[in-house]
């Protein structure tokens, strides 16, 4: 099984949009329309990253990358008119394989985690945690004071990961998710620049490397 030593993190590029759209459709098939990621890349408030596997490429399979994307959900999404916003955004065979992506909007001193998603077949391999570490480090570089996010009330696995990285519940958004009107928990970190939080992140980063191997972390500017 691949470990994180095969992974590297970088900023999202325009040529990544096809794979990112596929991952988004797979991870969030019934919540809301897929964001216009091409427009997001032009948004000065938005910052997106991807985790790639340097040893794997998008295969020849009718324009879709591997990762377990459910064809049924794709067809339903098209019938609902989603493809009118993403025509031409398909994965190109031979591209380096993107395993997951995440994005933040930075507003004044807050970095808001807008989405984080991993291919279904790549989960439980450290990709999601690598994305979270990288998003926190990116937020620090962008001078954000704290990071906020919403998470499903039922998603205890994600909540445990966020809690591990210093997020605390500070509120509830009632009926936030449109597919089943489930509540979202609003979570936030303490000050990113505090010595205690920086030491915590560096300790967790080293533990991650010990468990999964050392990925290539990008130095964000």
> pLDDT tens, 198-215?
999 999 999 999 999 989
- Residue 199 maps to a domain: yes
Q: What average pLDDT does the segment 75-104 reach?
A: 69
Q: What average pLDDT does the segment 84-95 reach?
A: 67
Sheet strand arrangement including 146-152 = 7-11, 46-57, 96-107, 110-118, 146-152, 184-188, 168-173
Task: Using pLDDT thresholds of 50, 70 and 90, give the confidence band for residue 4.
Answer: confident
- Identify any residues that bridge with 48 across adjacent strands, giving them in sequence order: 103
CA distances to 45, 96, 135, 137, 144 from 192, in Å: 19, 32, 12, 9, 7
- Per-residue pLDDT tens over the stretch 155-196: 999 999 999 999 999 999 999 998 889 999 999 999 999 999
- Within 8 A by CB and 6+ apart from 75, the residues are none
pLDDT for 36: 94
- Residue 62 maps to a domain: yes
- Residue 218 maps to a domain: no
pLDDT for 29: 78
> Per-residue b/e over 186-195, b at no fewer than 16 CB within 10 Å?
bbbbeebeee
Is the pLDDT at 82 greater than 80, yes or no? no
Q: What average pLDDT does the segment 88-116 reach?
A: 92
- Residue 132 maps to a domain: yes
- Residue 221 maps to a domain: no
- Residue 137 maps to a domain: yes
Lowest mean pLDDT among 59-68, 97-106, 121-130, 168-177: 59-68
CATH of the domain at 58: 3.40.630.30
- Residue 219 maps to a domain: no
Q: Residue 132 belongs to what domain range?
A: 4-212
Q: What average pLDDT does the segment 1-18 reach?
A: 87
Task: Using pLDDT thresholds of 50, 70 and 90, give the confidence band for residue 70.
Answer: very low
Write out the catalytic residue numbers: 150, 162
- Structural domains of the chain, count: 1
- Residue 8 maps to a domain: yes
């Amino acid at each position: 099984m691949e470990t994180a030593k095969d992974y590297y993190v970088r900023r999202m590029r325009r040529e990544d949009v096809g794979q990112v759209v596929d991952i988004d459709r797979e991870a969030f098939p019934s919540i809301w329309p897929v964001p216009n990621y091409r427009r997001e890349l032009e948004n000065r408030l938005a910052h997106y990253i991807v985790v790639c596997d340097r040893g794997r490429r998008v295969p020849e399979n009718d324009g879709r990358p591997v990762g377990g994307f459910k064809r049924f959900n794709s067809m339903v999404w098209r019938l609902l008119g989603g493809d009118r916003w993403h025509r031409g955004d398909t994965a190109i065979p031979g591209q380096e394989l993107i395993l997951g992506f995440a994005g933040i909007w930075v507003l004044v001193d807050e970095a808001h985690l807008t989405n984080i998603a991993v291919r279904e077949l790549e989960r439980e391999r450290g990709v999601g945690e690598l994305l979270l570490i990288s998003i926190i480090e990116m937020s620090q570089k962008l001078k954000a004071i704290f990071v906020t996010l919403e998470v499903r009330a039922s998603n205890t696995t994600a909540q445990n990961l966020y809690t591990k990285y210093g997020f605390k519940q500070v509120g509830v958004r009632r009926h936030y998710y449109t597919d089943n009107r489930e509540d979202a928990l609003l979570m936030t970190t303490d000050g990113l620049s505090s010595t205690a939080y920086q030491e915590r992140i560096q300790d967790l980063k080293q533990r991650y490397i010990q468990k999964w191997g050392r990925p290539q972390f990008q130095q964000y500017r």
